Chain A
Amino acid sequence: VQQDAVKDEL
């Protein structure tokens, strides 16, 4: 879940 938050960036 941690990394998913990053994936909303370009």
Chain B
Amino acid sequence: MNVFRLAGDMTHLLSIIILLLKIRATKSCTGISLKTQELYVIVFLTRYLDLFTKYISFYNTTMKLVFLGTSISIVWYMRYHKVVKQTYNKDQDTFRHYFLAIPCFLLALLIHHEFTVIEVLWTFSIYLEAVAILPQLVLLQRSRNIDNLTGNYVFLLGAYRALYLVNWVYRYFTENHLVRWIPWLSGLVQTTLYADFFYYYIKSWKNNEKLQLPA
């Protein structure tokens, strides 16, 4: 474990906590894409299949359970909670997320490290996570005013994978030049997708104005 990865995990955890707090405190999920949240549940389920078969550390197991639990509860709130589900922007959150999942799965069948169920599904989760934010970014462009919590949520979500990129650079130089193209390239794509959001988020923060994404 290095400081970059720990910072990344904490940033990721914080983003999810902020989203849960927003939903529980305001009893509203306005501006949040259910499609993206569902994709994250799939990402965690397919990535943590070895949760009960491989014990790495207390930290690793705990964080996996926290990520699975929180992401599933967010989807539950948005789908079934009587008050929250009324605030879901159903008619604006129209991104066909299956168009994202299916190519990722096909790509995982083609490009992986070894052809086993666990490894192919793990690879699928890496590819899927890279594009899972797209429905959320599209929804942000459609919703006129973005509330601060939602903006902070998306910013921290993008920042966590950027910190993971730094972690991979650090590990490359400190762990006999271990090369891991699949997470590296996917992480690069994932972080790049946030580029224009980062630009507008930082601009709105500097000029102390409301966050607005150009349509």
Q: Do A2 and B67 have beta carbons less than 8 Å apart? A: no
B178 in contact (CB, < 8 A): yes
Q: Are B178 and A8 in contact (CB under 8 A)?
A: no
Given A9-B5, A10-B9, A10-B67 in contact, is the A2-B56 Cβ separation under 8 Å? no
Q: How many chain B residues have a CB neighbour from A under 8 Å?
A: 23
A 1-10 binary contact with B (CB < 8 Å = 1; else 0): 0110111111
How many whole Å from B157's CB to the nearest CB in chain A? Answer: 14
Contact of A10 among B60, B119, B175, B178 (CB under 8 A): B60
- Residue from A3, A6, A8, A10 with most neighbouring chain B CB atoms (10 Å): A10
Taking CB atoms, residues of chain B closer than 8 Å to A5 are 171, 175, 178, 180
- CB within 8 Å for A2 and B178 given contacts A7-B56, A10-B60: yes
Known: A2-B113, A2-B178, A2-B180. A7 touches B50 (CB 8 A): yes
Task: Kindly list chain A residues whose C-beta atoms are within 8 Å of the C-beta of B119.
Answer: 3
Q: Do B183 and A6 touch across chains, with their CB atoms under 8 A apart?
A: yes
Which residues of chain B are within 8 angstroms of A6 by Cβ–Cβ distance?
Answer: 180, 183
* Assembled-state Cα–Cα distance A8/B114 (Å): 17
In the complex formed, the residue of B with least CB distance to A9 is B5
| Interface 0/1 of B37-49, CB less than 8 Å to A | 0000000000000
Nearest B-chain residue to A6, judged by Cβ: B180
Those 9 A-B pairs whose CB atoms lie nearest each other, nearest first: A3-B113, A8-B56, A6-B180, A10-B63, A5-B178, A10-B9, A6-B183, A2-B178, A8-B60
User: 15 A–B contact pairs at CB < 8 A?
Assistant: A2-B178, A2-B180, A3-B113, A3-B119, A3-B180, A5-B171, A7-B54, A7-B56, A7-B122, A8-B60, A9-B5, A9-B167, A9-B183, A10-B60, A10-B63
- Starting from the known contacts A7-B54, A7-B56, A9-B183, 14 additional A-B residue pairs (CB-CB under 8 Å) come to A2-B178, A2-B179, A2-B180, A5-B175, A5-B178, A5-B180, A6-B183, A7-B50, A7-B122, A8-B56, A8-B57, A9-B5, A9-B167, A10-B63
